[in-house]
C-alpha cells in the first residue's frame, strides 16, 4: 500500500447530548457560539476558520438521513467525551472570568511543558471541555 493522500485538518467534531435546547444554551450563552445550522436533531457551530462543532440530540441520528445529494449513515454515542477549543493566550484571564460569571466550575487547570495552559470544565451532559492556549502540541 502506498502513502495515504494528505488530510488537511479536522473538519467536524460532534458530541451527543440529551437535551439539545439546554446544550445550545450552554454553548451559545457561555462560549458565545452562533449557530450556522440548527434543526430538531442537531446544531452546527463554526469554530475557527474551517472547523465545525456539532451537537447531536442523542438517539436522533440512528437512522439514515437521505438528502438530494446522497445519504448520511446512522451514528450515535454515549458517555462523557473530551474535546478542546483553541484560545489565545492573552484571553485566558477573560475566559476564567467568563466561566466564573456563568457559574461554570473550572474542574482543573494544567500548565503544559511548552508553556500552554488548559482550562477544563464540564458541559451540561458531562462532556469534558478544554480551552487551550498555543504551545500545547508541537503543531499548536
Please name each of the domains of the chain with its CATH number: 12-62+78-132 (3.10.180.10)
* Residue listed under C-alpha cell 445529494: 69
pLDDT of residue 111: 98
Give Cα 17 distance to the centre of its chain: 12
Average pLDDT, 10 consecutive residues per value, the chain (140 residues): 90 97 98 97 96 97 95 95 97 97 98 97 98 96
Q: Is the pTM of this model over 0.75?
A: yes
Question: Phi/psi class of residue 37: alpha, beta or left (left: φ > 0; alpha: ψ in -120 to 50)?
Answer: beta
Q: Enter the C-alpha cell of residue 89.
A: 493566550
pLDDT of residue 122: 98
pLDDT of residue 5: 83
Instruction: Give the Cα separation of 44 and 23 in Å (integer).
Output: 12
pLDDT of residue 52: 98
Amino acid at each position: 500500500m502506498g502513502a495515504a493522500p494528505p488530510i488537511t485538518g479536522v473538519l467536524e467534531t460532534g458530541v451527543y447530548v440529551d437535551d439539545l435546547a439546554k446544550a445550545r444554551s450552554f454553548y451559545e450563552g457561555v462560549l458565545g457560539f452562533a449557530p450556522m445550522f440548527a434543526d430538531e436533531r442537531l446544531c452546527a457551530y463554526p469554530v475557527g476558520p474551517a472547523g465545525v462543532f456539532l451537537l447531536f440530540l442523542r438517539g436522533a441520528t440512528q437512522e439514515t438521513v437521505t438528502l438530494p445529494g446522497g445519504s448520511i449513515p446512522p451514528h450515535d454515542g454515549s458517555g462523557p467525551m473530551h474535546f478542546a477549543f483553541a484560545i489565545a493566550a492573552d484571553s485566558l484571564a477573560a475566559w476564567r472570568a467568563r466561566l466564573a460569571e456563568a457559574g461554570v466550575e473550572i474542574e482543573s487547570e494544567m500548565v503544559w511543558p511548552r508553556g500552554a495552559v488548559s482550562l477544563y470544565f464540564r458541559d451540561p451532559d458531562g462532556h469534558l471541555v478544554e480551552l487551550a492556549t498555543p504551545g500545547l502540541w508541537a503543531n499548536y
